[in-house]
Amino acid sequence: MSKTFYLTTPIYYVNDAPHLGHAYTTIAGDVLTRWHRQRGESVWYLTGTDEHGQKVMRTAEANGVAPQEWTDRLVEDAWKPLWKHLNIANDDFIRTTSERHMSRVQRFLEKLKESGYIYEGEYDGLYCVGCEEFKLPGDILEKDGEKTCPTHSRALEEVAETNWFFKLSAFAKPLLERYQQHPETCEPASARNEVISFLSGDVVDLSISRSSFNWGIPVSWDPGQVVYVWFDALLNYATAVGLGDDPASEGGKKFADTWPASVHLVGKDILRFHAVIWPAMLMAAGLPLPEKVFAHGWLLVGGEKMSKSKLTGIAPSDITSHFGVDAYRYYFMRAISFGSDGSFSWEDISARYTSELANDFGNLASRTIAMIEKYCDAKVPAVADEPILSDALADAVRVADEKMCALDFQGGLVAIMDFCKRVNGYVTEQAPWVLAKDDSKRAELDRVLYATAESLRALAILLHATMPETTEKLWESLGAHQSIGALGDQRIASAGMWGGLPAGTHVVKGEVLFPRLLEE
């Protein structure tokens, strides 16, 4: 039995409600895991929330509530409802305030201390509460006479504490060798080069506890200290699947089946935590390292990273209320090259909605169903070969699968939608509405309508990971649920096997997949 394809998103700070940037990563994870499920693989998809640290504590205090009350409220009222709204099919949701996480973090820390990788020391330096990060000299920006964080443009705070330290420096060389010998473990190349540059420099040990506040997981052997929020948070990927549990227990079996993670999706601003600190922690514990850390780019608004603190955060509902959830999901996977920065534009999403979704895909579906209803008594004609389309489809499936598995969502969707355009061109060239006027061309009409309907069957399968709700509607309209089976059970490979839609399948006119947008 092959190992589970295990994918994680970062766990998100609950100092505020989610914005487009959070949704971007989570949708990417959802599209990728849905695609792998359609490849017939065992899949586990994890997301969750990071609930400890000064940033969360101060936000809760500013709102006049205790940190736990604040995090409970946001998780249940904002985060989980959004993932449901966006049709995110995650298998688990980890909270760092959950007992299963906290107890496993403490056990992990105790074992590192027993192994000699944790020691007591003095920390005296600058800290960014927004990043929850101790800043190195190269990470500090001088602005108006103040030392500031380049990400948050806020003054850094001076911290002097007696803390517990992790021997991060001991793992710089083996990590450097790993990325040089196995470049596929950190992508894209720009991210890997950044990590290699950092590891080639002077890597210092990491303070992994704090004593100036108490909102965190207590250090079990030193109750006056709490675990540094990043050391706590990074462990979620392993604690969620049973880290440290007895191998014979359910948690232990889950860990054996799932670990190491296949892909950690992260934003490029938190790359160093995931490609340096996290694998060093795993090395210290003698655990296998993740197969891939992939750092995507930022979503930009006005040339700046989307951020609540800079008032550039946009709520996903602002977009879904106008364009719908599936168009939202499609746009961010199609318009931006995953791994590069990309600017959100109302004009661009509107143009793509109209051109690619409404005109190309939606119109193809509606006119095909309408013609089969009109000319074929609503029944799919006899299965017919059409090499012009079947060959193009086979190529589209091959390219799309290759691109999607490589996290090139844009490339995968381009291959699929190029095939959609090809089918539209075919319909225009063959003009079935003209063929229908000549009884002697009945066989030709049937061939064209079958080929078009069969192409829609394939498109429904190929676009299901990206637009699950819309493709379900198309599947029902094609009558495929009754004649073939549930859309979610269809395999990517089967999409390219011509002749999958049985003759006689009863089609039904459904609602317009992508209604005309109302001007606002």
DSSP code, position 513: S
Active site residue 149: yes
**Which is catalytic among the residues 3, 80, 113, 305?**
305
**Which is catalytic among the residues 147, 308, 481, 506?**
308
Active site residue 420: no
**Which is catalytic among the residues 52, 135, 149, 292?**
149
The neighbour count for residue 166, using CB atoms within 10 Å, is 24
**Which is catalytic among the residues 80, 85, 152, 310?**
152
Active site residue 308: yes
CB 300 within 8 A of CB 344: yes
What is the side-by-side order of every strand in the sheet holding 263-267?
92-95, 43-50, 5-13, 263-267, 293-296, 186-187
State how beta strands 186-187 and 293-296 pair: parallel
**Which is catalytic among the residues 36, 101, 128, 274?**
128
Q: Among all chains, which residue has been given the structure tokens 């949701």?
A: 93
The closest of 239, 300, 228 to 269, measured between CA atoms, is 300
Residue type at position 414: V
Task: Please state the φ and ψ torsions of residue 383, each to the nearest 5 degrees.
Answer: -60, 130
Give the torsion through C-alpha atoms of 436, 441, 442, 445, to 10 deg.
-60
Q: Among all chains, which residue has been given the structure tokens 């381009």?
A: 414
- Read off the tokens for 38: 């359609």
Gap between the Cα atoms of 501 and 499, Å rounded: 6
What is the side-by-side order of every strand in the sheet holding 218-219?
209-210, 222-227, 218-219
CB 185 within 8 A of CB 179: yes
Gap between the Cα atoms of 48 and 321, Å rounded: 24
- Read off the tokens for 378: 């609503």
Residues 6+ apart with CB under 8 A from 316: 18, 19, 20, 23, 82, 85, 86, 328
Task: Please state the φ and ψ torsions of residue 205, each to the nearest 5 degrees.
Answer: -70, 160
Residue type at position 285: A
The closest of 293, 297, 302 to 340, measured between CA atoms, is 297
Active site residue 376: no
Bond preceding residue 188 cis, omega within 30 of 0:
yes
CB 324 within 8 A of CB 312: no
Gap between the Cα atoms of 408 and 416, Å rounded: 13
**Which is catalytic among the residues 52, 131, 274, 296?**
131
| CA angle (430 as vertex; 426, 431 as ends), nearest 5 | 115
DSSP string covering 5-44: EEEEEEEEE-SS---HHHHHHHHHHHHHHHHHHHTT--EE
CB 221 within 8 A of CB 265: no
Catalytic residues: 19, 22, 128, 131, 149, 152, 305, 308
